[in-house]
């Protein structure tokens, strides 16, 4: 894993998801997140403007560590890297996506939901995976069970993580960080209330720091 992002996630074990229809909004969301103390940002490739959003965040929010999420193919991975992504996240385990990221020496976190997928990831030499969708795939009990078998693997649960359960998800030693969109809800973004995003990021950071001090 890239030392820089590993170091950042050890201090702030949070990955904020950003989805926007235009680059200006993506930049403002990311600036608010960074102001709230959350600098690892996953720009989701779910809109037509997603790559433009990613490139804009990379250029205009230098304090953010911006990566690409919802990467479904090798072609998308290549496009994300060309836009400046510093890490790549997929909802599932696709070896072609992993290969593109590895060749670029860029951290890649494919999604797994089962023991079979995790075993494939392990045998590909991966050390950290996204556990998705976390709440539906068994949540914390599943992470504990899987980590008892795959003892060197680290997990980034995403999907169903919120302020109310963040501390619980961060508690297992195998959990490296948590990702989610609870810090970037649609309503305040639609209203242009980016101070609300900053406050949610600050709240998440406080929860995460207290959890890791236990």
Q: Which residues are catalytic?
A: 42, 130
Tokens 């949610």 -> residue:
200
Burial 52-86 (b: 16+ CB within 10 A, else e): bbbbbbbeebeebbbbbbbbeebebbbbbbebbbb
**123 Cβ partners below 8 Å, 6+ apart?**
none
DSSP state of 165: T
22: left (phi over 0), alpha (psi -120 to 50) or beta: beta
From CA 52, how far away is CA 26, in angstroms rounded?
9
């Amino acid at each position: 894993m890239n030392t820089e992002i590993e170091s950042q996630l050890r201090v702030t074990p949070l990955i904020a998801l950003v989805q926007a229809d235009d680059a200006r909004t993506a930049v403002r969301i990311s600036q608010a997140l960074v102001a709230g103390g959350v600098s690892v940002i996953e720009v989701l490739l779910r809109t037509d403007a997603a790559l433009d959003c990613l490139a804009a965040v990379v250029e205009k929010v230098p304090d953010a560590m911006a990566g690409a999420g919802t990467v479904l193919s090798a072609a998308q991975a290549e496009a994300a890297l060309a836009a400046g992504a510093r890490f790549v996240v997929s909802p599932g385990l696709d070896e072609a996506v992993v290969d593109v990221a590895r060749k670029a020496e860029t951290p890649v976190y494919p999604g797994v939901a089962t023991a079979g997928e995790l075993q494939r990831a392990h045998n590909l030499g991966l050390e950290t995976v996204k556990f998705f969708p976390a709440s539906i795939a068994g949540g914390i009990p599943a992470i504990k069970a899987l980590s008892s078998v795959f003892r060197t693997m680290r997990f980034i649960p995403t999907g169903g993580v919120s302020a109310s359960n963040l501390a619980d998800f961060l508690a297992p030693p195998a959990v490296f960080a948590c990702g989610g969109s609870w810090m970037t809800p649609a309503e305040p973004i639609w209203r242009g209330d980016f101070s609300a995003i900053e406050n949610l990021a600050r709240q998440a950071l406080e929860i995460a720091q207290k959890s890791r001090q236990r």
